[in-house]
Structures are given as structure tokens and as C-alpha cells.
Amino acid sequence: KAGVTQTPRYLIKTRGQQVTLSCSPISGHRSVSWYQQTPGQGLQFLFEYFSETQRNKGNFPGRFSGRQFSNSRSEMNVSTLELGDSALYLCASTPDRVDTGELFFGEGSRLTVL
């Protein structure tokens, strides 16, 4: 069974640009969540999607947005990039079972903003 796939793995942008990151969940998983990791910080929750609907959003500015498609693939977009947006962005998918809620992570997209 293929794992969670994130693209691109690495990218470099300049301040003011925008970026779109993609996440393909494990087949059959309908929930996708996104996390940001910056140096010295724990993973920070960005948002979660289930069946194309955003169910939860973390404390990030409106420049951070996302969506989910009917095939459960998800994208997140960051507009007007700032230096502080340089981070590893992790996507995770979740089975529909409520009893575990274990997250299955991708390897991440590492964004560098110059």
C-alpha cells in the first residue's frame, strides 16, 4: 500500500511569491491534515480536511489556505511569502476510524524563502 506522497520535496521561493504544496493520502483515507515545523518548534497544526470540507484550522494567518479534492488529494497554498514561512510542511492522512486517530505522515515539503 503506497504511503502519503508529498510534492515537491524541496523548493526555494522569494519573499512575496506564493507556493502550492500537494499531498496524496493513503488510498482510502479521507482525512488530510497539514503541519508546519520550524527550527526549534514542535509540529504546528495548520488545518484538516475531510471529504473536501475544512473541519479545523490552526492559528495561522489567512495567507495560509488549503483545499481537498474529491479524490482526497489535498493542496495547501501560502501567498505573499515571508522569510518566516521557511519550514518543513508535513501532510498526514488518517483512517476514518475514530478509535485510534493515528496519523500517517508524508516525508514533507521543505520550503526555503529567500
Query: Is the Cβ of residue 81 or residue 106 nearer to other proteins in the bound state?
Result: 106
**To the nearest whole angstrom, how small is the minimum distance from the Cβ of residue 20 to other proteins?**
20
CB within 8 Å of 35: residues ≥ 6 apart: 43, 44, 45, 46, 89, 90, 91, 92
Residue from the set 7, 15, 55, 83 that interacts with other proteins by CB under 8 A: 55
Residue 2 touching other proteins (CB under 8 A)? no
Site string for other proteins, 78-97 (x = CB under 8 A): ------------x-x-x-x-
CA distance 109 to 9: 4
Residue 63 touching other proteins (CB under 8 A)? no
CA distance 30 to 18: 26
Residue from the set 21, 23, 26, 48 that interacts with other proteins by CB under 8 A: 48
Q: Cα 86 to chain center, whole Å?
A: 14
